[in-house]
Structure 1
Amino acid sequence: MSIFRAALFVSVSFCASVASAQDAPALAPDVGTAESDQIIVTGRAQRLYRTETTTVGKSAEDPLDIPQALQVINKDLFADQGARDATDIYRNISGVSFFSYAGVTFRGFRQDQSFYDGMRGNPFIGFSVPQLFNIERVEVLKGPAGLFFGPGSPGGIINYVSKVPGDTSAMRLVATAGNYDRRGISAEATGPVDKDGIVTYRLGGFYEAMNPYRRNTKNVSLIGDGGLAIKTNDGGKLTLQATVYDNDLQANRLRGILTDNDGNFLTDIRWNANEPTDFLHLKSQAYQARYATAIGERVTFDAGVRYFKATETQQYHEPRGLVAGSTDLVAREFRDQIRDVDGLSFSVNLTARVDLLGMEHKFQTGADWYDETSVLHSRILRAGVTPLSLSNPVYTNSARDVARAALLPFTVTDTRTKRQGAYLQDQISLSEAFMLVGGVRYDKFEDAVVNAASYEDDDITFRTGAIYKPRKDVSVYLSWSQSFEPQTAASQNGDVGGPFAPVTGDQFEGGIKTDLFDGRLQANLAAYRIVRKNILQADTSLPPVNGQDQLRPIGEVTSKGFEIDLSTDITANWVALVNYGYNDTKITGTIAGQAITNAVGNRFANAPKHKVGFWTRYQVPAIDAAFAVGGEHVSKRISLSGQTVKPYTIFDASIIKGLGFAELMLRVDNIFDKVYAASGFSAQSGHFPGEPRTFLAELRFQF
């Protein structure tokens, strides 16, 4: 840790020295800019949270020309909302709500996949949450994304787009403080290395520590990030990036708080099953290189490679529900686990605009390859672990549990995953107002649990759509898209009836997108129906084979709903974001008495029918300040054990004040200090509580 802290200090110091060596130019757009040397918060109101193009379809595209719902959350919204990690931005995305850790409920389905710059390779494995310090924007493609991203949940995908070196010299320094002993500092600098700007750089460092509201917890997060961009030819650039993460979380391998069947917490939400000496420590690194170039005016090409390696070490006490006959004592077990994951991705994409038979065709083709190794060392001490009281928890040094667990052998699970795919799509402009889209993708996948089971297969997915634009700023679309997910390698064993075809997802979606009044009013409406088939279930009508229940791919789930997203400049000084999602996900095919994973009865856990989010920001030029307020409402849900998860509504607010030499943000989350469950889990480990009222202050310097 001391080496990492030293590296962080050096990076922050270097950022400051580079910035001070410049001739104090205006701040670069890459870091966040005003139009003079002074920080002016009121100079960035109109189109503040908008993004003109997205790369969620593997090439830069106007969202109006994509026949699926999507959202883009940019760094301006991160800054105004004080967002630190992925969980801070879910409220801005219709159809998405928190499930657990980095996992979300996405159009009714549990999903925990993430992509970085269009490639697989998430360095936040297991129970860690993606951080946003080095992220430019978050792109969300809703519904099946099999054409461009291969195997995945039909709910959608989240793509994190990294910050890259900028052409203009700039530096940003942020000091942070808040309740729960929060303190932190971050710095980032960017600009040219040589006088001609052939080579540019980006360097950043982030440090934050706090003692959260749960007992015994302490978090320390460190990020070091650097990159070089080299202009290789006219219109071509090679970008090299490296990022190092170190998250040290004391007593923070958190489960929930036990509840009754009506969703009432049985004790204070500060309760924690972890001892003070428990921990979760994630160390990871990600390295990537991307080359992009224009070939003439109508062809673009890009290729990328990404490698990551992550190790998550954890020792913690897991709650196992109330001790038999007690209403106060919670049984626990002690877990000692090490997760080692590394992955290598390759990606290549080519886009060409060609005129054929009087129509313009935009051809896209590409291929990707991914190889991951995941090794889990686990040992669990189940007997002799001291229970913990809900009403009066007494924590002790857990050295005895650590020592007893050390006498147990590790159970080793070695999982290998390989993905290879290629796609082709044609977008045909029949006229200025009417476009057709059609695409096909072929995937081959190999999954293996070493010394247990292995399986390989392939699949083909399709995507079609039609787009009608009665005017250039209005788009009406219909689409059909597919996804697939390989069955787990363990389920492909012949003793359980395998091998089995993948789980499939088919979606029909229709909607309207607008970019009216020169982009000052962006409104999107989407309605969808997703059918997910081939879900494995145990068939009790068949006799076991070698002691294994027989599985059959007969489960089916149907998700229906609609979403509304609005982003608008109400006046020159007033902007607003509103999103609403309605979803109804039900099991439509099953065996009586057999439950589909994450489902209770015919409903899915943590899938709300209604979810609302809003954020509005009003600036007052006369006093160089901006005032913002936001909120979120999530309707009633059920947990994995069928317990009620109560609906909740919370509100947040921010004040941003220009000081001439800097910018000050004051923020409060959960203004009314509401006690609520962010999501449900199980009866044994309870519901995940939402954060109580928290305060955050940031002093931001820009040069």
Structure 2
Amino acid sequence: MTREQGLGRKLRRHIVTGVVTSGVVVTGAAYAAEQAPVAQGETMVVTGTALKVPTPLLETPRSASIVESDELEQRAVTQYDQALNYRAGAVTAPYGNDAKADWFLFRGFSGEKSTYQDGLRLFREAGYLWWKTEPFGLERVEFLKGPASILYGEAPPGGIVNAISKRPTEEARGLVDIQGGNKGHRQIGIDTSGPLTERGDVRYRFVGMFREQDWEQRGTDNERVYLAPSLALDVTDDTTLTLLASYQRDHGTPANVFYLPYGTVNDTPFGKIDRDTDLGDNDNDRLEHRQISIGYELEHRFNDTWRVEQNARFSTLDLLLRTAYPSYMNGDRNAVLGLTDRDGSYDATTIDNRVIGNWYGDGVENTLLLGFDYQNLDAEYANRDAFPYGSIDIFNPGDADFGSRGNKTNFDLGKEQYGLYVQDQLRLEDRWILMAGARHDNARVTNRQEGGDNQGYDDSQMSYTGGVMYLGDYGLSPYLSYSESFTPNIGNDLDGNAYDSSEGKQWELGVKYAPDWLDGYATAAVFDLKETNTLYPSGGSSSNQGGERHSRGFELEGVGYLTDELQVKAAYTYTDVTVDVSDTQQDLRAGIVPRHQASLWVNYGFDHGALDGLTLGAGARYMGTSVDSPQYSDTAVAAYTVYDAMASYDIDQNWTVQVNANNVTDKEYISGCEYWCYYGESRSIIGSLKYRW
């Protein structure tokens, strides 16, 4: 039986049984359940991202998706924003192949502040101080769609994405992965874990990776070092402590992904700009990025009814970023350049405490969640941005005139937030699922500029959620849900008044389908999502507030084995987003978000004959037409389709060779425009040799 065949068995355990896995806190018993064979009809349960308690995905009245580590490895995902390429509701890498950060759009809203790891926020704030996630260190990626403030506090309305770190395992195992490819791609990774004691009450895992690669533009490159040790201890039969740490360093010349519509989507007398053309300042552009985290996850069970969970993390990030970019055209060939120059750091502390109770009665099962969480961010950075920085001939970048950095200005940003939340889930007669929750948050934001006033503010917010689901016959379960979100806004309007928080509200109607005859699932959902108090341009130095961003859409997603050998992943998304951009320009189509997108991935694993051990996979990703943000231009971006492929062969039970190709046809396309336009990734080919034990 090939490894892909084994995935078919796992799919019943991980998806058809409907587990929304999170690993926020995983007990030793949960790990044992994960490693032991699961009998037909049993449900393996671990803590869930969607509801923060053990809940089957197919019994959750919310849309959610999961990408397991097997799929990340099969598709050779090396950048975090590639993880959701084949899932509904997410636009991945809308700003091209950007080395500075991972980018998502969720249901038409930016996912910039939607990133979590192990259930705790990853901060992306203040002058490009953005935490980055390494896919090689992940067990899985979970995507909860729509507002999530009831459990996570401050969050954009589109959804959250939660990365789950690799953790210690009960059995000894390991992996060495050596890769090489075009664009100077070279990588070596090691992943080893197992028990440290005979009893197995102390377990370890160590993940390490080194990668070097060239970016799309000539003269740009990056080196990454990633280390992630972890240790799990069964303190008692009822108490488990897991320690998690990570170190990551990026070093290189950053890719300048910013291009103007002129010469990309719009014709010129001199043709188009090649996608590998760097319009920055290679001699001076620099990226030095270092991030360190250390944390723990603790669970204690009092009895069969009550348990407490706590997870916490301290993280620190240091950044030096210097990159030039074209700002606007000055004539037919020359662009005026600007310079982004930031040097800073932040320290962040996050902690989440939960009390969970489960009890049962005649035809009744109830789960109560009480929680308190806290987060604190302290960031400082120096800004030496310069404008204008110089000029460049966009068709002959060697003909450029660069200036000097700007004067140094220091900034100090702080954010402190704590929230109390309660959620109750009620299951009646194995037919009805009822859910309700509420949360109260207090947030304090400081925003100081050297020589200026503090533009911070205090805010408090109530958030609510509710849902109902009917567990029907034949695996068909319709549901209706309501959820809310809030996002504090930093700064003041033209009259000096501090901004209010933007608020999101969503209604979602859907159905989940997992029949007995299919080793897989299908979901469909329609949603109406609205954010009020949206900021929009004023024509002055700050924005107005009071606008609205409205997203309505339909999502269809399915994952399953049609046979023991043939697996299919399919997704379709329709998203219609409108936005107010001024007092008189209302309900305009939002920029960079396509109305239609679809994807299909198929892989076939041979399990007998001469081809035993061979797995072939192929995928297609379609993105429909999009437009520039209406406050900038009426530029239209053409639809595009790119194709991916893979082939792997299990030489024996230890050795595997694999080849992956993304954008097989090397299609040149623009992924989107938002004042600037962004080229999508060119063809990428990666070959790997893996040894497992």
- Please tell me the TM-score bracket, short chain as reference: 0.7 to 0.9
Partner of 2:277: 271
Q: Does 1:393 align with 2:397?
A: yes
Partner of 1:668: 661
Partner of 1:60: 54
CA contact (8 A) 2:358 2:365 kept: yes
From 624, 635, 641, give the equivalent of 1:649: 641
Distance 2:581 2:325 in 1: 34
SS at match of 2:167: coil
Offset of residue 486 of structure 1? 1.6
Partner of 1:691: 681
Offset of residue 656 of structure 1? 0.7
SS at match of 2:85: helix
From 463, 469, 474, give the equivalent of 1:461: 463
CA contact (8 A) 1:245 1:284 kept: yes
SS at match of 2:216: coil
SS at match of 1:409: coil
Partner of 1:416: 414
Partner of 2:246: 243
CA contact (8 A) 1:266 1:390 kept: no
Offset of residue 287 of structure 1? 0.9
SS at match of 2:206: strand
Partner of 1:97: 91
Alignment of 1:27-42 (within 5 A): 40=3, 42=5
* Amino acid across the alignment from 1:582: Y
* Amino acid across the alignment from 2:575: N
Q: 1:317 to 1:261 in 2, by over 3 A?
A: closer
Distance 1:151 1:126 in 2: 18
Offset of residue 294 of structure 1? 3.2
Distance 2:555 2:605 in 1: 29
TM-score, scaled relative to structure 1: 0.86
Alignment of 1:546-561 (within 5 A): 551=544, 553-561=545-553
CA contact (8 A) 2:257 2:679 kept: no
Partner of 1:584: 576
Alignment of 1:446-595 (within 5 A): 446-450=444-448, 451-471=453-473, 473-488=475-490, 490-491=491-492, 496=495, 498-517=497-516, 520-537=519-536, 551=544, 553-587=545-579, 591-592=583-584
CA contact (8 A) 1:554 1:589 kept: no
From 315, 330, 337, give the equivalent of 1:332: 337
SS at match of 2:71: helix
Distance 2:124 2:489 in 1: 23
Fraction of identical pairs, as percent: 21
Offset of residue 153 of structure 1? 1.0
From 335, 345, 348, give the equivalent of 1:343: 348
From 160, 165, 179, give the equivalent of 2:163: 160
Q: Deviations over 1:262-294 (max 9, x none)?
A: 556831001112233311111010111111233
Offset of residue 97 of structure 1? 0.5
SS at match of 2:384: strand
From 378, 385, 391, give the equivalent of 2:383: 378
CA contact (8 A) 1:680 1:687 kept: yes
Moved more, 331-340 or 65-74: 331-340
Offset of residue 254 of structure 1? 3.6
Partner of 1:544: none
Moved more, 425-434 or 186-195: 425-434
Offset of residue 181 of structure 1? 1.7
Q: Does 1:612 align with 2:598?
A: yes
Distance 1:197 1:95 in 2: 41
Offset of residue 502 of structure 1? 1.9
Partner of 1:27: none
CA contact (8 A) 2:129 2:345 kept: no
* Amino acid across the alignment from 1:104: F
Moved more, 182-191 or 372-381: 372-381
* Amino acid across the alignment from 1:509: E
Q: Deviations over 1:136-182 (max 9, x none)?
A: 11111101101111111111111111111111111100000001121
Offset of residue 53 of structure 1? 1.7
Q: Does 1:136 align with 2:139?
A: yes
Offset of residue 413 of structure 1? 1.7
Q: Deviations over 1:467-487 (max 9, x none)?
A: 100138432110111111123
CA contact (8 A) 1:251 1:275 kept: no
Moved more, 357-366 or 412-421: 357-366
SS at match of 1:133: helix
* Amino acid across the alignment from 1:462: Y
Q: Does 1:659 align with 2:655?
A: no
RMSD after superposition: 2.5
Offset of residue 464 of structure 1? 0.8
Distance 1:134 1:470 in 2: 38
CA contact (8 A) 2:289 2:320 kept: yes
SS at match of 1:79: helix
Distance 2:411 2:66 in 1: 37
Q: Deviations over 1:54-76 (max 9, x none)?
A: 21121222012211100011101
Distance 1:512 1:164 in 2: 33
SS at match of 1:78: helix
Q: Does 1:289 align with 2:296?
A: yes
Q: Deviations over 1:382-430 (max 9, x none)?
A: 35x442222222178x9x84xx42xx53111211111111111111123
Q: Does 1:681 align with 2:674?
A: yes
Offset of residue 48 of structure 1? 4.7
Distance 1:357 1:589 in 2: 55
Partner of 2:35: none
CA contact (8 A) 2:203 2:232 kept: yes
Partner of 2:212: 209
From 300, 307, 311, give the equivalent of 1:304: 311
SS at match of 1:496: coil
Moved more, 360-369 or 271-280: 271-280
* Amino acid across the alignment from 1:300: R
Q: Deviations over 1:218-251 (max 9, x none)?
A: 1111101101100012143101011000011314
Distance 1:274 1:319 in 2: 8
Alignment of 1:173-184 (within 5 A): 173-184=176-187
Moved more, 229-238 or 171-180: 229-238
SS at match of 2:280: coil
CA contact (8 A) 1:282 1:313 kept: yes
* Amino acid across the alignment from 1:103: W
Q: How many residues are matched?
A: 638
Distance 2:387 2:73 in 1: 45
From 426, 429, 436, give the equivalent of 1:428: 426
Q: 1:179 to 1:414 in 2, by over 3 A?
A: same
CA contact (8 A) 1:511 1:525 kept: yes
Q: Deviations over 1:190-213 (max 9, x none)?
A: 011111111110111101111233
SS at match of 2:121: coil
CA contact (8 A) 2:216 2:255 kept: no
TM-score, scaled relative to structure 2: 0.87
Distance 1:669 1:557 in 2: 34
* Amino acid across the alignment from 1:332: L
Q: 1:63 to 1:44 in 2, by over 3 A?
A: closer
Q: Deviations over 1:424-451 (max 9, x none)?
A: 1111123210121111111111111124
Offset of residue 334 of structure 1? 3.2
